[in-house]
Structure 1
Amino acid sequence: MTSFNRSTSRRLQKLIQIPSVWEGDRRPMSSPSRDDSEEKGECILWVDGSQGIVRGMDVVDPDTGPEAIVRTLMRAMEHPHSPAKPARPQRIVVRDREIQFYLRGVLQDLDIAIDYVPELHLIDELFRGFEEIIDSQVPELPPQYASTLRDKALAIWQAAPWEFLEEQQILSIEINKWDVGTLYASVMGMLGMEYGILFYRSEDSLKRFRATVLRDDESQERLEEAFLKQDCLFLTFERNNAIDEDEDDVDDLADLPLSEIDPTFGNIHPLEGLRSVLYEEEALVVLMALESFSRFIRDYRHQLIGETFLSLSRRYRITVPSDELTKSVNVTVSTMPQLAAELEEMAGFSSTEEGDFANNPMFRSLRDDLIPEDSFLSLGVVSWEMLEYLRNGVTYHQAGEIQQVGDGLPVILIQTSRPKAKIVIESVEAAGGLKAICFNPGADPFDGDRYDLGLLQTNNGELFLFGEFLDDDPIHVEARAKWNQRCKNTQGCCGLIIAKGLTGASRGNPQLRDMMALFEARSLSPKELGIGTLQLMPQLQFE
C-alpha cells in the first residue's frame, strides 16, 4: 500500500485538529434514472458534517485508483473550499468498507479515526441534488431521433454538397408541417472554412443577414448582432475530441477521416439567440430537411455540378419515425436560380468589365490546396538580366509577352521542398497553366480583421489561395505598394517562381539553382477579377 512520505506526514500533523466528523465518498456522476450511453466520471466528495460545508470535491475517471480519494482529502485538509479553514478532523466516516480499510492504512500517523456507516446523510442529500440537476438537463437532441439525425448528417458529410453548391445557390425545402412552411438551405464549405447547412425559416432572414455581412463598413458588434438575428436551424461539422493531443492540427476538416467528424445541430432566432439544442418538433423538421436534401443532391448531382444553376424540383415522400399521428410527409425540394442571381448581385458578382461574373465559365471555385502550408513566400522583383537566366535554367517555363519597363519583372516567389514543388508545378500545368495573379480583399466579419488575399488564377478558371495578409501589416503594405507600381510599369506583366530548398542553407534566399519553374502571367486588379470581398463565414461555437 502506498503511504505518505515522512515529510508529508509531519506537515499534515501540524494542521490544527478540529472536533468534527467528515463524510467522504466516491460515486458515479450519471443519474440512475437516465439511460446514459457514455460514462460521466465519478465524483469524490469530502464534507464537514459538523459544519455542513463541502471542503473538497473532484471528478475523476472511473478507472482512477483509490489514491484519488486521498488526494482530494489532502486538499480538503490543506486547501479547503471557502469558507473552511485548513484543518484535520478527529473522525472520518465512509460507507464503503474498502475505502475504510484503505484510509486506515494511509492515515495511520495522523490520529484520525476512520469508521464505517451505512448511510452518509449529508453526501446523500448533495448527490440527490446533483441527480435532479442532471435529470433536468435538456439533451442536445431528443433521444429518439439522435442516432438517426447523426447518421443523416454524416451521410451529408460524405456527399460533400459544398464541392458543387455555393452559399448563394439556395435550395427551398417545402415541408408544411410542424408549423414550418418552407426552409431555405444554404450550404457552407466551398471555401474550406466552415462546413454545414443553414436552414433559414424565411427568405427575408437569409437576405438580411447576407446583406449585413457584405457591408464593408459594419462594425464587429453590428455583425455579431446580425448573426444572432438570423432565423434558422443549422447543421455544422467539427472535429471531435477523440484525437491525440499531440497530433498536428489540420486546417481543413475535409482532410480528416469520417471517424473524427462530429455533426452539431442547433437553432438561431432573434429572440432566443444561439442554442445548441433541438427540441422534438425542430428535430423532426431537420430530419425531414436532411433526408429530402440528401435525396435531391443524389438525384441531381450531375446537373448541380454544371456551370449553370438550373431550375430543378422534385417531390419526396419521407417516412416520419416515432410519430404515431404522422406516418409520412411530402417534401418538395427545388433550386432557386432567381434568388441565387439576386444574392450574387448583392455581393457584387453580377457584372465586371469582362462581363457577367455569375455566368463566367472561367471561374469555378476558390481552393487552398495548391501551395503547401509551410512554404516560404515573398513578393519581389527579378531584374531583366536575371530573367533571361531563369528562362533558360528552370525545369518548367511558361512564357508570356513581357514589357521590359522599370527595374524588372514583379514576381511572387514560393519556396518549398523539392517533392512538393514538383507537385505544385504539375498541378498548375494540369490546370492549363497560370493565367493571372491577383490580390483581392477578404474579411472576417466577427473578428473584424480585413485581409489581402493572394490568388492565382489558372487557365481552366480555378482560383488558388497562396497567401493571407493582414491589410494593415506595414511590411505587407509596403511590399504591395511596390508590387502595384512595378505591375503598372510592366503594363500588368508579372511572374510566379516555384523554388526548392526550404530546409536547406538557401531557405528564405533561394539561389538560381533552386529555381524550378517560372510562370509568366498577368496581374489582375480586384475590380478586374470581379469577385468582391471574400467573406469568412462565422463559425458556430458552443460552450
Structure 2
Amino acid sequence: MTSFNRSTSRRLKKLPQIPSVWEGDRRPMSSSHQHSDSEAKGECILWVDGSQGVVRGMDMVPQETGPEAIVRTLMRAIEHPHSPAKPARPQKIVVKDREIQFYLRGVLQDLDITIDYAPELPLIDELFRGFAEIIDSQIPDLPPQYAQALQDKAFAIWQAAPWEFLEEHQILSIEINKWDVGTIYASVMGMLGMEHGILFYRSEDSLKQFRAAVLRDDEPQVRLEEAFLKQDCLFLTFEHADDSDEDEDDEIDLADLPLSEIEPTFGNIHPLEGLRSVLYDEEALVVFVALESLSRFIRDHRRQLYEGGFPSISHRYRISLPASNEATKSATVTVSTMPQLAAELEEMAGFGVQELEPGEEISPMFRSLRDDLIPEDSFLSLGVVSWEMLEYLRQGVTHHQVCEIKQAGDGLPVILIQTSRPKAKAVIANIEAAGGLKAICFNPGADPFDGDRYDLGLLQTQNGELFLFGEFLDDDPIHVEARKKWNQRCKNTKGYCGLIIAKGLTGSARGNPQPRDMMALFEARSLSPKDLGIGTLQLMPQLQSE
C-alpha cells in the first residue's frame, strides 16, 4: 500500500486539528437518461465537513481510477479547501464503503484521524440527490425513445451520400401532413465539401430568402449571420467525432473517415428561437420520417438522380414509426423532386450567365475564359502515364472519357491536378456539366504591367468554354523542358493527351498520388496556339482576349 512521505506527514500534522466529522465518498454521476453504466461519464468524489455543513473538496474522476484518487481529493480538502473553509485536519472521517475505510486507515495512520464506517452519510446523500435532480432536469439532445432510431437513419443517409449527385439548389419536397407539418423541403449540403448534411425547410419562402441573402455579394458578415438565424428549418449535419484539434479538422475530408469517426448532429433553426441542437418529440418524428423516406427515395431513384438533369420524379412511401405512445403506427409520405424550383434557384445564383464588357464580343472559338474551375491550392504537374497504367485507369476510375488513341512512344501525356476529394468532385462535376473535356491547350500570355510573358495552360470543354489551369513563366527552365516533352509525346500520339483529377492533397500522397487516389481520366485532343487561334492573352484583373 502506498503511504505518505514522512515530510508530507509532518507538514499535514502541523495544520490545526478541528473537532469536526467529515463525510467522504465516491459515486457515479448518473441519471434516468443514461441507459447503462458504460454511459456514465465518471465518478464524483466528495469530502464534506458535517459539523460546518460545507463542501471542502470535490473531484470528477474516470470510473476505473484507483483508490488513490479519494486520498488526493482529501489532501486538497485538508490543505486547500473550498471557500469559506480554512486549512485543517478533521478529528474524524466517516465513510460508507468498507474498502475505502480500511484503505484510509492504512494511509492516514500517522495523522491521528479516526476513520469510521456508517451505513448512511446524510449530507453526501442529500448532495447526490440534488446532483441527480439537476441532471434529470436537463433536456437531452434527442428524445430518449427516438434517439437510437434517429442515429440509425442518420448513418443510413451518410452511407447513401446524396451530396455525391444532388446540389444544394436541387430541392426535394417531402409531404408529411402530420404533427402540424404539411410539406418540408430538403436541401442536401456537401457536394462542394464545405459541410455535409440536410436542411429540412418548413417553407419555400424561408429557403428562397436565405439563398437570396447568401448570394448578395455586398452582404456584411453580421447580416449573413442574421439571415442564418432567420431560417425556419430542421437540420441534420455530420462532423468529425474527434474535435480535439479544430484546425486539423478543417483539412479533413469527412468522406475519407471510417463510420466510427462520423458524428451526426440534429437541431432546429427558427427566427424566434434561434439555433438549438435539441429536437423535441414531434420534431424528432418529423425528422425520422423525412430521413427514412429520403433514404428510400435515393435507393429507388439513385440512377436517375445520378445521371443529371434533375428529372421530375415522385414516389409515395408508408413509413413505420419508431416505438412511441402514439396510437398512430405509420405515416404516408410523398417525396418529389422540384425541377422548377431548382431552375429558379439556379437562375437566382446566376449560373451560366456571362456579363460582357462594353464592345466585347464572344469569339466563335470560345464563349468565355475563366479561372474558377481548378482550385487555387491544387498540385499541378505535366507528365506521362504508361500505356499499361492507362488501361488500368480506364477500368479503375469512376469518371472516364475515352478517345481512340494510337499507342506510340512511352505513354499518354497527361496534366495531373491533385486537390482535396470534395474539390476534385466539384471539378469533375463542372467538366461533365459542360459536356466533357474537348482539348488541352498551352497559349502565350503577357502581363502588361510588369512585362512578364507566360505560357498559359487552358482546358477547353465541349461547350466551348476555356478554363485557366496554370500560369507558367515562359523562361522557367523546368517548365520549358516539361513543355518540350509534352509536345513530343503529343506528336507521338497524333495529338491526343489526357487530364487526371486526383484526391489526397493533404495526405501522404500529396504530390505523388497513387492509382487509388485518381478519381477521373478525361482523354482529349491537344491544341496548339495556332489551332486555338485566340492570340496572346493579357493577364488582367478579369482575363480577356486581345
TM-score, normalization: structure 2? 0.69
Q: Using the TM superposition, give the Cα deviation of residue 512 of structure 1 relative to its aligned residue in structure 2, in angstroms.
A: 7.4
2:11 matches 1:5: no
> Which residue number corresponds to residue 347 of structure 1?
349
> Separation in 1 of the partners of 2:231 and 2:245?
36
Check the 8 A contact 1:171/1:184 in 2, yes or no. yes
Which residue of structure 1 lines up, in the alignment, with residue 331 of structure 2?
329
The structure-2 alpha-carbon separation of the partners of 1:435 and 1:459, relative to structure 1 and needing over 3 Å to count, comes to farther
The 5 A counterparts of 1:381-420 are 395-396=383-384
Q: Distance in 2 between matches of 1:159 and 1:367?
A: 27
Match for residue 154 of structure 2?
153
SS of structure 2 residue aligned to 1:174: strand
Deviation at 1:345, TM superposition (A): 2.0
Contact 1:18 1:90 in 2 (8 A): yes
Cα distance in 2 for residues equivalent to 1:510 and 1:491: 12
Distance 1:11 1:461, change over 3 A: farther
Q: Check conservation: 1:233, 1:266, Cα contact below 8 A.
A: yes
Over 3 Å counting, the alpha-carbon distance change for 1:244 and 1:191 in structure 2 is closer
Tell me, what secondary structure is at the counterpart of 2:319?
strand
Deviation at 1:160, TM superposition (A): 0.3
Paired AA for residue 92 in structure 1: I
**Structure having the higher Rg:** 2
Q: Which moved more, 1:57-66 or 1:316-325?
A: 316-325
- Distance in 1 of aligned mates of 2:471 and 2:5: 63
2:205 is matched with: 204
Match of 2:174 in 1: 173
- Are 2:374 and 2:427, in contact at CA under 8 Å, matched by a contact in 1? no
Gap change, CA 1:227 and 1:331, over 3 Å in 2? same
Q: How far is 1:186 from its partner?
A: 0.5
2-side partners of 1:171 and 1:220: how far apart? Answer: 29
CA distance in 1, matches of 2:400, 2:541: 25
1:15 corresponds to which letter in structure 2?
L
Which position in structure 2 is the counterpart of 1:133?
134
Q: Return the offset for 1:285.
A: 0.7
Equivalent position SS for 1:154: helix
Q: SS at the partner of 2:85?
A: coil
- For 1:188 and 1:458, the matched residues in 2 are separated by 15
Q: CA deviation at 1:486?
A: 7.7
What letter matches 2:348 in structure 1? M
* Structure 1 unaligned spans of 5+: 378-389, 398-418, 438-452, 464-481, 500-508, 530-543
User: What's the counterpart of residue 420 of structure 2?
Assistant: none
2:373–2:469 CA contact under 8 A, matched in 1: no
In structure 2, relative to structure 1, the CA distance for the partners of 1:76 and 1:206 (3 Å cut) is same
In structure 1, what is the equivalent of residue 285 of structure 2? Answer: 284
Give the Cα separation in 1 of the matches to 2:77 and 2:297: 60
Q: 1:233 to 1:54 in 2, by over 3 A?
A: same
RMSD: 4.5
Percent identity over paired residues: 68
Q: Equivalent residues in 2 for 1:439-454 (5 A)?
A: none
2:340 matched residue in structure 1: 338
Provide the rounded CA distance (Å) in 2 between the counterparts of 1:69 and 1:4.
14
The amino acid of 1:17's aligned partner reads: Q
Q: 1:159 to 1:68 in 2, by over 3 A?
A: same
- 1:274 counterpart letter in structure 2: L
* Counterpart secondary structure, 1:133: helix
Q: Does 1:104 pair with 2:105? A: yes
Cα-to-partner distance string for 1:473-493 (whole Å, 9 max, x where unaligned): xxxxxxxxx979689966966
Q: Deviations over 1:197-232 (max 9, x none)?
A: 010111111111122222222232222222222111
5+ residue gaps, structure 2: 357-361, 403-412, 418-423, 435-445, 459-467, 487-498, 500-525
Answer whether contact 2:24 2:93 (CA < 8 A) is retained: yes
Deviation at 1:78, TM superposition (A): 2.1
Aligned to 1:400: none
| TM-aligned CA distance change 1:526 to 1:39, over 3 Å | farther
Partner of 1:502: none
| Alignment check: 8 A CA contact 2:315 2:335 kept | yes
- CA shift in 2, pair 1:144/1:219, >3 Å: same
Deviations 1:441-479 (A, max 9, x none): xxxxxxxxxxxx9x978994489xxxxxxxxxxxxxxxx
Contact 1:243–1:260 (CA<8 Å) still a contact in 2?
no
1:177: Cα distance to partner?
Answer: 0.4
* Residue equivalent to 2:52: 51
Check the 8 A contact 1:498/1:515 in 2, yes or no. Answer: no
Cα shift readout 1:44-89 (whole Å, capped 9, x = no counterpart): 0111112211111111111111001011111222222222222222
The match for 1:88 is 89
State the Cα deviation string for residues 281-311 of structure 1 (Å, max 9, x = none). 1111111101111111111111111231211
Give the aligned partner of residue 18 of structure 1.
Answer: 18
Deviates more, 1:7-16 or 1:188-197: 7-16
CA distance in 1, matches of 2:481, 2:429: 24
In the aligned structure 2, how far is the partner of 1:305 from the partner of 1:318? 25
Aligned to 2:409: none
Closer/same/farther in 2, CA of residues 315 and 528 from structure 1, 3 Å limit:
farther
What's the offset of the Cα at 1:332?
0.8
Change (3 A) 1:6 1:462: farther
**CA offsets, 1:306-363, max 9 Å, x none?**
23121111111212233542132211111111211222222221522599xxxx9xx9
| Separation in structure 2 between the aligned mates of residue 196 and residue 241 of structure 1, nearest angstrom | 18
> Which of 248-257 and 100-109 deviates more?
248-257
Aligned-pair CA distance for 1:434: 8.3
Aligned to 1:78: 79
In 2: Cα distance, 1:339 partner to 1:484 partner? 45
Q: Which residue of 1 aligns with 2:189?
A: 188
Q: 1-side partners of 2:131 and 2:277: how far apart?
A: 22
Write the mapping of 1:250-399 to structure 2, written as runs, cut at 5 A.
251-323=252-324, 324-352=326-354, 371=378, 395-396=383-384
- Measure, in 2, the Cα distance between the counterparts of 1:6 and 1:344: 78
1:349 corresponds to which letter in structure 2?
A: F
Counterpart in the other structure of 2:35: 35
Aligned pairs (5 A) from 1:473-484: none
Seen in structure 2, the aligned counterparts of structure 1 residues 113 and 514 have a Cα distance that, compared at 3 Å, is farther
Q: Is the 8 A contact 1:240 1:260 kept in 2?
A: yes
